[in-house]
A and B are shown apart, each in its own frame.
Chain A
Amino acid sequence: MNVMDWGPLWLTLQLAGVTVVVLLVVGTPLAWWLAFTRSRFRTLVEAIVALPIVLPPTVLGFYLLVALGPHGLIGGPWKDLTGSALSFTFTGLVIASTFYSLPFVVQPLHGAFEAVGKKPLEAAWSLGASKLDAFLTVASPMAIRGYLSAVVLGFAHTLGEFGVVLMVGGNIPGVTKVLSIAIYDHVEVLEYTQAHILSAVLLIVSFLILSIVYTVNRRLPIHVS
């Protein structure tokens, strides 16, 4: 029996962590726009954001593979800019995961901002707060539950990513070989013990995260105006 390789676990946690940070940066303005815009493109954007929920990961992965390739929509300009390719790299995985987990971050934030509504913001503006000031001191703290859900769902969803990673990242140890793929590999060569251990770790980590979040969420005050 081979020695247990914990590399995929650390890689997975790193990927999920970085992805969540990227998603918060990208998802906050997007969710804000969705919550407050009166643009007729709103429903269209909402549908696009929700696509990863219904699409088979292989379909999403396939398109991302094409887009991230050296001649792709994202990969091409990236290569011109940095000189290196995106496919089969950690950065490529982060970009792919960002798309894959987008709805799990945007939707809770969207809901939370909508629940906060415009009224407390109008009050803050009339008290002399700028738009950014009002967002930081009023909207964000009032949407704290939404942020918590977004972080957890985004993180947990990225942890369990398989199809997209397989398509975009391949299976390069230390670079793109994440936990779910490592488990698959172990099963393929009938290393059930290793598969058991890694699966149990993922199961326990996921369960712990969700339990902590639901407990914390219960204790947070509800801020609905």
Chain B
Amino acid sequence: MSRLDARFRIDYPGFRFDVACSVPLDGTIAVFGASGSGKTTLLKCLAGLTRASSGFLQFDRTVWQDDARGIFLPVDRRRVGVVFQEARLFPHFTVTQNLTYGMKRNPPSRRGIAFDHVIELLDLEPLFRRRVSHLSGGEQQRVAIGRALLTSPQLLLMDEPLASLDQQRKKEIVPFIQKLNRELSIPVLYVSHALNEILQLANHMVLIKEGRVAATGPIQEVFARLDLPGLVESNMVGAILETRIAEHEPEFGLTRVEFLGRSLFLPRQALPPGAPLRVQILSRDVSLVAGAPPERSSVLNALEATIVEVSESPSDQYAVEVKLDVGCPLLAMITRKSLQQLRLRPGQKVHASFKAVALS
């Protein structure tokens, strides 16, 4: 698996940006952090739009920047596509001219992505005749994504591409971004401070805090870490399960999905059987049963689990967080009283029952 290795340092007045990370060039890599934590700076360093005072950047086997050896590949020579927060379309060009601006500057031998494929993927054809200034925010962002893709980049950088859009437009764009990975197999680095976007899109993540990398790894592992203080919001996430639609049960309004050979039930989904579905479980929605599972219960979703670790809850002094293993990490938030009554300890086998929510 090829990787992206980066190390950048910039000293701003009152703020030091000092980031080092190594991520696999596969799927969507989320760069997550609060506003002002340095996410966009990292993206600009990767693109070559900002030059770190001291930096090293290696993409697969190509060095893009190495200040120790005086190497710095300028932005127009790096094969990256950048999608900014605002679409930044060229207002004096038509939609088509915008789309082909980068493509025309890329020699034909390097055009790995077909024009028609991108147009179809992002449903851009209806926009061809429209004027840039008459496009909605979501449409503009789709053109911007298409424009970047048509340069056939080796890496697509997206800087909060949904942040300036309203909820409705966000819903419009997310499926397009999900399709990028599946259909074009271009690694995407996705900067965002919106947790739900990352949960939907990313499979690897880099967590940035105050100009430094606080955590990095596969998304399931990062969210199941108990030692990430200050991420109260993320501690609500108990697990992210990669499931597949098994069948619909319309008479109950439910959909059965399969996760590691076991069945889970969710409110009815619109996807066809066989489609992949990412499911989220909130840690406060998980309850634990010690010993044998009750034979008859109203609970639909229960998985056998092994307790890995118990620790304080950062958000509630009367609660504790229990890290479990159900084939992937799962966090449960339970009361101190329950902890005492069940006498939970690492290694113990329990049953975890929960409510599952689809991420889409």
Minimum CB–CB distance for B261 against chain A, Å: 45
Which among A119, A126, A221 is the interface contact of B47 at CB below 8 angstroms?
A: A126
Whether, in the assembled complex, B92 has its beta carbon less than 8 Å from a beta carbon of chain A, the answer is yes
Which among B49, B90, B92 is the interface contact of A126 at CB below 8 angstroms?
A: B49
Which among B90, B133, B147 is the interface contact of A138 at CB below 8 angstroms?
A: B90
Instruction: Report A-chain residues with C-beta under 8 Å of the C-beta of B133.
Output: 221
Instruction: Say yes or no: B105 contacts A120, CB within 8 Å.
Output: no
Whether, in the assembled complex, A83 has its beta carbon less than 8 Å from a beta carbon of chain B, the answer is no
Which among A119, A129, A138, A141 is the interface contact of B76 at CB below 8 angstroms?
A: A129
Instruction: Say yes or no: B101 contacts A119, CB within 8 Å.
Output: no
Instruction: Report A-chain residues with C-beta under 8 Å of the C-beta of B86.
Output: 119, 225
Q: Which of B4-12, B77-85, B268-276, B286-294 contacts A (4 or more CB under 8 A)?
A: B77-85
Instruction: Say yes or no: A124 contacts B101, CB within 8 Å.
Output: yes
Contacts A141-B92, A142-B92, A223-B91; A128 near B84 (Cβ below 8 A): no
Minimum CB–CB distance for A219 against chain B, Å: 14
Minimum CB–CB distance for B335 against chain A, Å: 51
Which residues B9-40 have CB closer than 8 A to chain A? none
Minimum CB–CB distance for A89 against chain B, Å: 41
- A contact face: mostly helix, strand, loop, or mixed: helix
Of chain A, the residue at the smallest CB distance from B147 is: A127
Whether, in the assembled complex, B96 has its beta carbon less than 8 Å from a beta carbon of chain A, the answer is no
CA distance A120 to B81 in the complex (A): 14
Whether, in the assembled complex, B181 has its beta carbon less than 8 Å from a beta carbon of chain A, the answer is no
Interface residues on A, range: 20 to 34
Whether, in the assembled complex, B106 has its beta carbon less than 8 Å from a beta carbon of chain A, the answer is yes
Instruction: Report A-chain residues with C-beta under 8 Å of the C-beta of B105.
Output: 127-129, 133
CA distance A186 to B132 in the complex (A): 56
Whether, in the assembled complex, B148 has its beta carbon less than 8 Å from a beta carbon of chain A, the answer is yes
Instruction: Report A-chain residues with C-beta under 8 Å of the C-beta of B101.
Output: 124, 127, 129, 137
Instruction: Report A-chain residues with C-beta under 8 Å of the C-beta of B148.
Output: 126-127
Whether, in the assembled complex, A63 has its beta carbon less than 8 Å from a beta carbon of chain B, the answer is no
Contacts A128-B105, A129-B105, A221-B91; A123 near B84 (Cβ below 8 A): yes
Which among B74, B88, B92, B106 is the interface contact of A123 at CB below 8 angstroms?
A: B88
Of chain B, the residue at the smallest CB distance from A128 is: B105
Instruction: Report B-chain residues with C-beta under 8 Å of the C-beta of A128.
Output: 76, 102, 105-106, 151
Which residues A142-200 have CB closer than 8 A to chain B? 142, 144
Whether, in the assembled complex, B75 has its beta carbon less than 8 Å from a beta carbon of chain A, the answer is yes
Which residues A47-83 have CB closer than 8 A to chain B? none
Q: Which residue of B81, B86, B90 has the most chain A CB atoms within 10 A of its CB atom?
A: B90
Interface residues on B, range: 20 to 34
Instruction: Report B-chain residues with C-beta under 8 Å of the C-beta of A141.
Output: 92
Instruction: Report A-chain residues with C-beta under 8 Å of the C-beta of B92.
Output: 141-142, 144, 221, 223
What sequence of 0s and 1s flags, for each residue 139-154 of chain B, a beta carbon within 8 Å of any chain A beta carbon? 0000000011001000
Which among B49, B74, B151 is the interface contact of A127 at CB below 8 angstroms?
A: B151
Instruction: Say yes or no: B76 contacts A123, CB within 8 Å.
Output: no
Q: Which residue of B47, B76, B80, B105 has the most chain A CB atoms within 10 A of its CB atom?
A: B76
Whether, in the assembled complex, A125 has its beta carbon less than 8 Å from a beta carbon of chain B, the answer is yes
CA distance A11 to B90 in the complex (A): 41
Contacts A126-B80, A127-B151; A119 near B49 (Cβ below 8 A): no
Instruction: Report B-chain residues with C-beta under 8 Å of the C-beta of A130.
Output: 76
Contacts A119-B84, A119-B86; A126 near B91 (Cβ below 8 A): no
Instruction: Report A-chain residues with C-beta under 8 Å of the C-beta of B90.
Output: 120, 123-124, 138, 142
What sequence of 0s and 1s flags, for each residue 198-225 of chain A, a beta carbon within 8 Å of any chain B beta carbon? 0000000000000000000000010101
CA distance A127 to B148 in the complex (A): 7
Contacts A123-B84, A126-B47; A142 near B76 (Cβ below 8 A): no
Instruction: Report B-chain residues with C-beta under 8 Å of the C-beta of A125.
Output: 49, 74-76
Contacts A128-B102, A128-B105; A123 near B82 (Cβ below 8 A): yes
CA distance A132 to B106 in the complex (A): 16
**26 A-B residue pairings within 8 Å (CB atoms):** A119-B84, A119-B86, A120-B88, A122-B75, A122-B88, A123-B84, A123-B88, A124-B101, A125-B49, A126-B49, A126-B80, A126-B82, A127-B102, A127-B105, A127-B148, A128-B76, A128-B102, A129-B76, A129-B102, A130-B76, A138-B90, A142-B92, A144-B92, A223-B91, A223-B92, A225-B91
Given A126-B76, A126-B82, 5 extra CB contacts under 8 A: A122-B82, A123-B84, A124-B90, A126-B49, A221-B133
